[in-house]
Structure 1
Amino acid sequence: MGEVLGDFIMVKALEDGVTIIGLTRGKETKFHHTEKLDQGEVMIFQFTQHTSAIKIRGKAEILTKHGPMVAGR
C-alpha cells in the first residue's frame, strides 16, 4: 500500500473552471471529491487507499513522474 500512497500528480489550470474529480477504489468506482481551479491555480493530488483515479475537465497542465502533459482543447 505504501507505493499507492506515494504517487501524486500536480495540476495547473490553464483556464478558469478546470474541474478535478477524485474516483474511489473498491468494487464500484464512484465520484468522491470534486475541486474547481481557476487559471494559474495549482493543486497537488495524491493517490490513497480511497482514491484510485482522477478525472480532469478543462485545459490544464499535468505533471506526473511519467512526464508532463496538457489536458483539454
Structure 2
Amino acid sequence: MKVSARNALKGTVKKIEVGSVNDEIVIEISPGVEVVAIITKSSVENLNLSQGKEVYAVVKASDVMIAVD
C-alpha cells in the first residue's frame, strides 16, 4: 500500500458496530489505545473488514486538532 498521508496508524479491527447506512470500526493500535472510524457499509464490504483483521487508520493531518486547558 502506498498513500501520501503521513499519519497511518497500523492496528487490528477490534469491533465492528453495524449501522443501517454506516458502520463504526474500532481499531486497536496498541494495548488500550483505540481509533474509531465511521465508514460506509459498502467500504466495509470492499475492504473485507472483520474482527481481528490487520488494517491502517489513515488520518488526514489537516483535520486533526490539538487542544489544552
Q: Say yes or no: TM over 0.5.
A: no
Report the structure, 1 or 2, having the larger strand content. 1
TM-score (norm 2): 0.31
Larger Rg: 2
TM-score (norm 1): 0.30
